[in-house]
Amino acid sequence: MVAAEQIEIRRLDGDVLRAQLDALAAVLADCVAGGASVSYMEPFSHADARAAFDGFASEVEAGRRLLLAAFDGETVVGTVQVLLAFPPNQPHRGEIAKLLVHRSARKRGVAQALMARAEQEAGVEGTTLLVLDTVTGDPAERLYTRLGWTRVGVIPGYALYPDGRPCDTTVFWKAV
Ligand SMILES: CC(C)(COP(=O)(O)OP(=O)(O)OC[C@H]1O[C@@H](n2cnc3c(N)ncnc32)[C@H](O)[C@@H]1OP(=O)(O)O)[C@@H](O)C(=O)NCCC(=O)NCCS
């Protein structure tokens, strides 16, 4: 069992992200295999997950998002992103996306550590307001509430689980 203190959170630039594509893809594929509603539907292969992070690398290089990874030694066990590209009248806004922790590394504070660093890095980019949405009733909803996010409300049937079942979404915001 790995304590959160042994986890190192790193912000990845485009080159390092591309070097970690397989490791990041493994985390995403594991989460989707575990039934997480994070944009993707079954069947979802490692190659699909790799292609997703390859696309994120281009966005990171363009300054449109930032991406963090949680390392246990040199093993990637989790990741989170902050979307930074919004219309000109929302230069202060960011959005948390793709908070993912491998099932083998959960319940050790990895997500909490990723979120703390995401808020910090968003602030460095000039973001003062963060928003996110998450599946209603999933563990992430408890996490965000515990971390001081304000719950806006629930949108019924907003998205689908990977197996096609609909799920409700809860919207949160936090000033950082
Ligand atoms: C949601 C998710 C990111 C949480 O990751 P995590 O690393 O397990 O989160 P944490 O460890 O910070 O917190 C999870 C729980 O472990 C507990 N915990 C934290 N450190 C602990 C420790 N050292 N010992 C025991 N329990 C601990 C927390 O209190 C929390 O408890 P709760 O579920 O009762 O609220 C993870 O479940 C996941 O990847 N889910 C699939 C993808 C997903 O839904 N992402 C959210 C998209 S918005």
Backbone angles phi, psi at 119, to 5 degrees: -65, -40
Each residue of 18-68: pLDDT tens digit?
A: 999 999 999 999 999 999 999 999 999 999 999 999 999 999 999 999 999
Distance 36 CA to ligand 1 centre (A): 13
Q: Are 4 and 113 in contact (CB under 8 A)?
A: yes
* Protein residue with its CA nearest to atom 48 in ligand 1: 134
Q: How far is CA 132 from the centre of its chain?
A: 10
Distance 77 CA to ligand 1 centre (A): 12
In short, whether 134's Cβ falls inside 6 Å of ligand 1 is: yes
Distance 123 CA to ligand 1 centre (A): 23
Q: Are 122 and 94 in contact (CB under 8 A)?
A: yes
CA–CA distance, 81 with 115 (Å, rounded to integer)? 9
In short, whether 69's Cβ falls inside 6 Å of ligand 1 is: no
Backbone angles phi, psi at 91, to 5 degrees: -70, -15
In short, whether 9's Cβ falls inside 6 Å of ligand 1 is: no
> What does each of the 176 residues of the chain score in pLDDT, given as a tens digit?
446 779 999 999 999 999 999 999 999 999 999 999 999 999 999 999 999 999 999 999 999 999 999 999 999 999 999 999 999 999 999 999 999 999 999 999 999 999 999 999 999 999 999 999 999 999 999 999 999 999 999 999 999 999 999 999 999 999 99
Question: Residue 131 to residues 44, 45, 93, 96, 116: CA-CA distances in angstroms?
Answer: 27, 29, 8, 6, 14
Backbone angles phi, psi at 2, to 5 degrees: -105, 125
C-alpha count within 13 angstroms, C-beta hemisphere, residue 129:
8
Burial status of residue 107 (CB atoms within 10 A of its CB: 0-12, 13-18, 19 or more): exposed
